[in-house]
Amino acid sequence: MESHRLLALFLTEGRELLNRVDAELMVLERAPHSRASIDAAFRALHSLKGMSATVGFESTAAALHAGESILDAARNGMALSGELLGALFALTGGTRHALDAAEHRLPEPDVLLTLARRLEASLEASRLTVSTVLKRPEAAQLVRDATTTGAACWCVAVQIATDAPMPEARATLLLRRLSAIAPVVRVAPGEGIRASDDWDRRVTIWLGEGSSVDHIEQVARGTGDIGECHVVRDVVPSLGSRHVEARTVRIPAQRLDDLLDLVGELVLARDRLLRVALPTADEPTTVALEEASGLVGKLREAILQSRLVPMADIMDRFPRHVHDMAQSLGKDVELVMEGRELEVDRSLLEELSEPLLHLLRNAVDHGVERPEHRRACGKPARGRLVVRVARDGAMVAVTVGDDGAGVCRDRVIAAAQARGIEPATPEALDDAGLLTLLAIPGLSTASEVTALSGRGVGVNAVVHRVQSLGGRVDLATVPGAGTAFTIRLPLSVAMLRALLVRVANETYAIPLSLVHTTSRRGDHAPADHVAGLQLHGEQLRIVSLRTRLGLPAADDVSGHLVVLDGSAGRFALLVDACIAQQEIVVKPLQRVRGAAPRFSGGTILSDGTPSLILDINSLN
Partner 1 sequence: MPRGTPRDHGMSHRVLVCDDALFMRTLVGDILEQAGFTVCGHAETGVQAVAQYKALKPDLVTMDIVMPDMGGIDAVREITDFDPVAKVVMCSAMGQQALVNEALKAGAADFVVKPFQPNRVIEAVQRVLG
Q: Which residues contact 188 (CB under 8 A, 6 or more apart)?
A: 203, 204, 242, 243, 244, 247
The only residue of 69, 81, 149, 172 in contact with partner 1, by rule CB under 8 A: 172
Residues 127-166 within binding reach of partner 1 (CB under 8 A):
165-166
C-alpha–C-alpha distance, residues 163 and 151, integer Å? 35
Residue 591 contacts residue 597 (beta carbons within 8 Å)? yes
C-alpha–C-alpha distance, residues 388 and 397, integer Å? 8
Q: Nearest-CA neighbor of 368 among 357, 358, 379?
A: 379
- Output the smallest distance, CB 65 to partner 1, in A: 9
Q: Closer CB to partner 1, residue 44 or residue 267?
A: 44
C-alpha–C-alpha distance, residues 571 and 430, integer Å? 18
Q: Closer CB to partner 1, residue 120 or residue 234?
A: 120
Q: Which residues contact 74 (CB under 8 A, 6 or more apart)?
A: 32, 38, 80, 84
- Output the smallest distance, CB 237 to partner 1, in A: 24
| Count of positions on this chain that bind partner 1 (CB under 8 A) | 12
Q: Closer CB to partner 1, residue 205 or residue 469?
A: 205
- Output the smallest distance, CB 244 to partner 1, in A: 20
- Output the smallest distance, CB 67 to partner 1, in A: 14
- Output the smallest distance, CB 173 to partner 1, in A: 5
C-alpha–C-alpha distance, residues 348 and 400, integer Å? 17
Q: Closer CB to partner 1, residue 176 or residue 233?
A: 176
* Beta partners for residue 496, in sequence order: 584
- Output the smallest distance, CB 92 to partner 1, in A: 20
- Output the smallest distance, CB 149 to partner 1, in A: 26
- Output the smallest distance, CB 165 to partner 1, in A: 4
x/- binding map, residues 39-78, to partner 1, per CB under 8 A?
-----------x----------------------------
Q: Closer CB to partner 1, residue 47 or residue 114?
A: 47
Strands 343-345 and 383-392: unpaired
Establish if 312 lies at the interface with partner 1 (CB under 8 A).
no
The answer to whether the peptide bond before residue 189 is cis (omega within 30 degrees of 0) is yes
Element (H, E) at 501: strand 495-503
Establish if 173 lies at the interface with partner 1 (CB under 8 A).
yes
C-alpha–C-alpha distance, residues 403 and 368, integer Å? 7
The only residue of 58, 103, 168, 506 in contact with partner 1, by rule CB under 8 A: 168
Q: What phi, psi does 151 have (nearest 5°)? A: -75, 150
Q: Closer CB to partner 1, residue 223 or residue 611?
A: 223
Q: Which stretch binds partner 1 (CB under 8 A): 171-179, 349-357, 374-382, 483-491?
A: 171-179
- Output the smallest distance, CB 222 to partner 1, in A: 6
Q: Closer CB to partner 1, residue 168 or residue 209?
A: 168
Q: Closer CB to partner 1, residue 59 or residue 223?
A: 223
Q: Closer CB to partner 1, residue 150 or residue 224?
A: 224
521 secondary structure, DSSP code: G
Strand, coil or helix: what is 80?
coil
User: Could you count the other beta carbons within 10 Å of the beta carbon of residue 491?
Assistant: 17
Q: Closer CB to partner 1, residue 159 or residue 218?
A: 218
- Output the smallest distance, CB 108 to partner 1, in A: 20
Establish if 461 lies at the interface with partner 1 (CB under 8 A).
no
The only residue of 27, 101, 195, 299 in contact with partner 1, by rule CB under 8 A: 195
C-alpha–C-alpha distance, residues 521 and 543, integer Å? 12
Strands 515-520 and 495-503: unpaired
The only residue of 93, 107, 224, 480 in contact with partner 1, by rule CB under 8 A: 224
C-alpha–C-alpha distance, residues 9 and 102, integer Å? 12
x/- binding map, residues 3-42, to partner 1, per CB under 8 A?
----------------------------------------
Strand, coil or helix: what is 602?
strand
Strands 383-392 and 333-338: parallel
Burial zone of 294 (CB within 10 Å; 0-12 exposed, 13-18 middle, 19+ buried): exposed
The only residue of 127, 176, 233, 419 in contact with partner 1, by rule CB under 8 A: 176
The only residue of 169, 232, 269, 397 in contact with partner 1, by rule CB under 8 A: 169
The only residue of 222, 252, 294, 380 in contact with partner 1, by rule CB under 8 A: 222
C-alpha–C-alpha distance, residues 312 and 335, integer Å? 14
Beta strand residue intervals within 150-274, DSSP E: 152-160, 184-188, 202-207, 226-235
Q: Closer CB to partner 1, residue 166 or residue 580?
A: 166
- Output the smallest distance, CB 167 to partner 1, in A: 8
**Which spans of this chain sit near partner 1 (rule: CB under 8 A)?**
50, 165-166, 168-169, 172-173, 176, 195, 222-224
